[in-house]
Amino acid sequence: MTSTTEQPGVAGEVRPGETPDTVSPAIAVSHAYKVFGRRPREVVKRLRKGATREEVRGQGTAAVIDTSFSVNQGEIFVVMGLSGSGKSTLIRMLNGLNDTTDGSITVFGTEVVGLSGQELRELRRDRMSMVFQHFALLPHRSVLDNVAYGLELQGVAPAERRERAQHWLTRVGLGGWEEHLPGELSGGMQQRVGIARAFAADTDILLMDEAFSALDPLIRREMQEQLVELQQELNKTIVFITHDLNEAMFLGDRIAVMRDGRIVQVGTPNDILTDPANDYVAQFVQDVDRARVLTAGDVMEPPRAVVPATAGPRTALRTMRDLQTSACFVTSSSRKLLGVVRDKDVLRQVREGGTDITERLRPTPSIVKRDQYISELFELAVESPLPVAVTDDQDRLIGVVPRVTLLAALTDLPTMTTEIPIIEPTPTVSAAMISETLGDAPESAAGAGFAPENEEVR
Ligand SMILES: Nc1ncnc2c1ncn2[C@@H]1O[C@H](COP(=O)(O)OP(=O)(O)OP(=O)(O)O)[C@@H](O)[C@H]1O
């Protein structure tokens, strides 16, 4: 499990494969508090001593309480939580739009808490752009000038800023709208202008506060996909606020779940879904569209019905009989998936005295990669009698997704409902007939091994 309920002092969490020594976070937040009210520091003291948000309410609103987390360079970090949980306050603390009552926030190693107004403006101009839920466009400037606005603040020359703004308008699908005023555009189009403006400013960090919430579902989906695409292309660090769990799961490399001003869990979408830290998170995720969060790699099982190409037909047949299945994957010596053999074909081959199963090889009906969402597997699973094969970049068979696993993944049920695993597809030839052909007694499934090839030709 890689998810954490962030612990005090644990600011530099890193992703698998990275080491703390080689990666410095883009943003590190440590024990940060934000209290609205007349005596905020007093409230922090009481919170530190264990007072609850409710208990201090008379003195002020504790919007963000003892929050520690870090955002790695190049990741999409989503902050999710119900309305009022403190998400907007938190994201605005990162760029100084809200001051921080207590604690530390660093951006690329520079402490943000305590910077002057001028320094904060520079930070927002040069390092962190923000996309707001309600666009925040300048109503009397053209669409093009709105997109170029950040560049203007950065002092970029007019010709270059027009060119860059034009480029980004085209990227977000608004070519041709340059000279219009924002008010002439639909909500979805205005949001695209906001996004183009943020990307045009070319800051390393993008802060997005409910940036897609005003969009209708189809456009919203499109924008989510476009954001992921742009992020992969440009390797920006993105902090994205949403109260929509499916959006969080789709976008987030990691997700922080907030409740009543505190972060209650940080983890990958898979961690949050399969290993919620508490009942609150569990309730939150119960309605999530699991098919669009879990990948083939998350749910795949070790392939059982597999024989190497060097195994003869007798071995293949014995394997299928013992596993009570009618098909078997065939792999090369380097575990590359070559295809499948069927029980009927192999039975015939044994009777005919054949020795090379690759002569009876059929193409594998469905093959996916480990990072494909299981929503993409259903059609394949319906069309194919065999479990969906999962291969790596070198086409090696690394797992299978049987239909039962796919269905169980949707509801978080265990896949094993009986003691004996059912291996798809069911036999088309009886075990007795196979045993008679092989001239031996059935072995237990657990004992199914590969006989050396010289046994095959006896
Ligand atoms: N300027 C302010 N003055 C006083 N209280 C505030 C201010 N801004 C936010 N709050 C309070 O802080 C708490 C957290 O609000 P915040 O807007 O950060 O939550 P949120 O999770 O972003 O909610 P939403 O999704 O509704 O925007 C709320 O109780 C809110 O009323």
pLDDT value at 44 more than 90: yes
Contacts of 7 (CB under 8 A, 6+ apart): 68
Q: Which atom of ligand 1 is nearest to the CA of 85?
A: 21
**Assigned CATH class of 297-456:** alpha beta
pLDDT-derived band at 75, boundaries 50, 70, 90: very high
For ligand 1, which residues put their CB under 6 angstroms from it? 36, 61, 63, 81, 83-89, 243
pLDDT value at 184 more than 50: yes
Helix (H, G, I), strand (E, B), or coil: what is residue 45? helix
Task: Specify the pLDDT at position 12.
Answer: 41
Task: Specify the pLDDT at position 424.
Answer: 67
Dist. CA 239–CA 270, nearest whole Å: 19
> Ligand 1 atom 30: the closest Cα is on which residue?
84
Reading the block at residue 151, the tokens are 């560049």
Q: Is 193 exposed, middle or buried, given 0-12, 13-18 or 19+ CB atoms closer than 10 A?
A: buried
Q: Could you tell me the residue ranges of all domains in the chain?
A: 74-87+115-294, 297-456
Q: What is the mean pLDDT of residues 316-342?
A: 91
Radius of gyration of the chain (CA): 29
Helix (H, G, I), strand (E, B), or coil: what is residue 282? helix
pLDDT value at 1 more than 80: no
Average pLDDT taken over every residue of the chain: 84
Listed ranges 91-95, 277-281, 444-448; the one with the highest mean pLDDT: 91-95
pLDDT-derived band at 264, boundaries 50, 70, 90: very high
Task: Specify the pLDDT at position 421.
Answer: 53
Q: Kindly state the helix (H) or strand (E) to which residue 34 belongs, with its residue range.
A: strand 27-37
Task: Specify the pLDDT at position 444.
Answer: 43
Cα–ligand 1 centroid distance for 238 (angstroms): 21
pLDDT digits (tens, 9 = 90+) for 408-420: 887 765 544 444 4
pLDDT digits (tens, 9 = 90+) for 419-452: 445 566 777 777 777 777 777 654 444 334 433 3
Contacts of 233 (CB under 8 A, 6+ apart): none
Reading the block at residue 187, the tokens are 């909500």
pLDDT value at 214 more than 90: no
**Cα torsion for 289, 292, 295, 299, to the nearest 10°?**
20
Residue 393: C-alpha distances to residues 308, 358, 387 (Å): 19, 23, 19
Higher pLDDT, 176 or 78: 78
Helix (H, G, I), strand (E, B), or coil: what is residue 451? coil
ipTM above 0.90, yes or no: yes
Question: Chain-centre distance of CA 324, in angstroms?
Answer: 36
pLDDT value at 18 more than 70: no
Nearest Cα residue to 182 out of 225, 134, 223:
134
Cis peptide before 365 (omega within 30 of 0): no
Task: Specify the pLDDT at position 289.
Answer: 81
pLDDT-derived band at 16, boundaries 50, 70, 90: very low
pTM (predicted TM-score): 0.73
Q: Which atom of ligand 1 is nearest to the CA of 258?
A: 21
Mutation to probe ligand 1, out of 39, 67, 88 (largest number of atoms < 8 A from CB):
88
Architecture of domain 74-87+115-294 in CATH?
Answer: 3-Layer(aba) Sandwich (3.40)
What would the DSSP string read from start to end of 123-182? HHHHTEEEE-TT----TTS-HHHHHHHHHHHTT--HHHHHHHHHHHHHHTT-TT-TTS-G
